[in-house]
């Protein structure tokens, strides 16, 4: 993986810090340079009338938290009318609880007239990612993200403000840091959303974590609604969750330190990521690949130990040019469009993926075992 880079979209601070952990901003940059990024964001917002914040399809807690945080910043600092757009659905039980408990209104993008907005912001993703549907004919004015940029950019005009820091664990940390720099008070509901975004993307500061994530986490911990946070992290789970878990246990394939799991047809893509998280806890496991079919789209999640290989390059080796993918550190995900949802088509794809995975891991000759054999 190339050295992480921190860049400022403000030409006065046109610098790039390469070869260092760019999340360690408090140690490597003076306070003026850190504040410059927040000031540059304000400059991009100034003079705009109405802001629309977008995320990737089926937003996760980091997407939701960073979107809510950016809305609060724009409203508090500039009095700007701001809405949050929803593409796809809120699917995972914890994500539904987050939106419900914190009263977060996300408006389906199909119900919005984009001509009503003269400023579009994209958080926790970037143009060019397969799980990100952007409005046709509109460029993004603001992009804030912590993922490795897509290998094939869309060729859209550059945003007025772009903050891409691949060494940061959560986009929520970045958005919260702007408010901290600008002296914006963070109310409990916004603080809870931001903290939960950081918690989920860094697994409680145990993976992909930077000094900035830690600083934000401990700043927010005293600004949350603890009752609501508990309700979000411990929601009731639907029957489908346990059915998918049963299928996962029946279909696990263990190749030494690598676990493969096919869930077959599933109700939503979120269960694929949940099962991948779960199986990483299996003794002696270093890497997990989990896949499931939703409609004609095959979703794959990759998880690695924090000290293991970068998940982005593992999923790239698995998926190749068959689909889209993204991620960094110990988490990655991707999707592949299939011509149909037939069992034969699914099995052919999974055989190709398994071959790619075993070759990339150097495990072609590793004997296979199931859960009952380990």
Q: Rounded CA gap, 182 and 39, in Å?
A: 8
| pLDDT at site 85 | 97
Summarised one tens digit per residue, pLDDT across range 123-172 is: 999 987 877 878 887 899 999 999 888 776 666 788 999 999 998 999 99
Least confident range from 146-160, 262-276, 355-369: namely 146-160
Q: For Cα atoms 42, 172, 9, give the angle at the middle one, nearest 5 degrees.
A: 40
Three-state SS letters, 61-129: HHHHHHHHHHHHHHHHHHCCEEEEEECCCCCCHHHHHHHHHHCCCCEEHHHCCHHHCCEEEEECCCCCC
Give yes or no for residue 286 having a pLDDT over 60: yes
Summarised one tens digit per residue, pLDDT across range 141-153 is: 999 999 888 776 6
Give yes or no for residue 364 having a pLDDT over 70: yes
| pLDDT at site 4 | 39
Report which of 191, 167, 168, 169 is spatially closest to residue 180, judged by C-alpha positions: 191
pLDDT band for position 32 (cuts 50, 70, 90):
low
Give yes or no for residue 214 having a pLDDT over 80: yes
Report which of 169, 122, 88, 132 is spatially closest to residue 331, judged by C-alpha positions: 169
Give yes or no for residue 31 having a pLDDT over 80: no
| pLDDT at site 268 | 84
Summarised one tens digit per residue, pLDDT across range 4-17 is: 334 444 332 333 33
pLDDT band for position 92 (cuts 50, 70, 90):
confident
For helices 93-102 and 188-202, angle between their N-to-C axes, nearest 10 degrees = 160
Does domain 5-233 sit in CATH 3.40.50.300? no
How many angstroms separate the Cα of 24 from the Cα of each of 5, 28, 215? 12, 6, 10
Instruction: Tokens for 32, please give them.
Output: 């003026």
The 3-state DSSP class for residue 301 equals strand
Report which of 45, 34, 187 is spatially closest to residue 120, judged by C-alpha positions: 45
The domain ranges of the chain are 5-233, 241-373
| pLDDT at site 199 | 96
Q: Rounded CA gap, 316 and 318, in Å?
A: 5
Give yes or no for residue 231 having a pLDDT over 50: yes
CATH (residue range 241-373)? 3.10.310.40
Summarised one tens digit per residue, pLDDT across range 176-191 is: 999 999 999 999 999 9
The residues, any chain, with a CB within 8 Å of residue 365's CB and separated by 6 or more, are none
When pLDDT is averaged across residues 267-271 and rounded to a whole number, the result is 86
């Amino acid at each position: 993986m190339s050295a992480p880079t921190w860049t400022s979209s403000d030409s006065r601070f046109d610098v790039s810090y390469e070869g260092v952990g760019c999340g360690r901003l408090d140690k490597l940059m003076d306070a003026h340079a850190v504040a410059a990024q927040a000031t540059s964001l304000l400059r991009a917002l100034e003079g705009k009338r109405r802001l629309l914040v977008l995320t990737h399809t089926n937003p996760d807690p980091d997407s939701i938290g960073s979107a809510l945080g950016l809305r609060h910043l724009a409203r508090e600092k500039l009095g700007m009318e701001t809405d949050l757009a929803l593409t796809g659905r809120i699917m995972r039980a914890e994500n539904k609880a987050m939106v419900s408990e914190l009263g977060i209104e996300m408006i389906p993008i199909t119900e919005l007239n984009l001509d009503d907005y003269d400023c579009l912001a994209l958080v926790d993703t970037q143009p060019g990612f397969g799980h990100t549907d952007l409005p046709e004919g509109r460029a993004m004015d603001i992009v804030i993200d912590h993922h490795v940029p897509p290998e094939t950019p869309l060729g859209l005009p550059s945003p007025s403000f772009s903050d891409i820091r691949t060494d940061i664990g959560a986009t929520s940390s970045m958005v919260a840091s702007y408010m901290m720099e600008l002296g914006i008070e963070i109310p409990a509901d916004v603080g809870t959303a931001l903290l939960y975004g950081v918690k989920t993307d860094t697994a409680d500061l145990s993976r992909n974590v930077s000094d900035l994530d830690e600083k934000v986490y401990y700043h927010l911990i005293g600004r949350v609604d603890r009752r609501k946070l508990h309700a979000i992290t411990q929601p009731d789970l639907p029957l489908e969750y346990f059915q998918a878990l049963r299928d996962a246990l029946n279909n696990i394939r263990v190749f030494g330190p690598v676990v493969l799991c096919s869930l077959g047809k599933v109700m939503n893509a979120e269960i694929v990521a949940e099962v991948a998280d779960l199986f990483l806890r299996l003794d002696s496991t270093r890497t997990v690949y989990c896949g499931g079919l939703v409609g004609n789209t095959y979703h794959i999640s990759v998880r690695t130990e924090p000290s293991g290989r970068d998940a982005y390059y593992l999923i790239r080796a698995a998926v190749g040019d068959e689909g889209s993918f993204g991620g960094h550190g110990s988490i990655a995900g991707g999707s592949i469009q299939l011509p149909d949802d037939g069992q034969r088509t699914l099995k052919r794809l999974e055989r190709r993926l398994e071959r790619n995975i075993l070759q990339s891991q150097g495990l072609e000759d590793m004997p296979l075992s199931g859960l009952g054999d380990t």
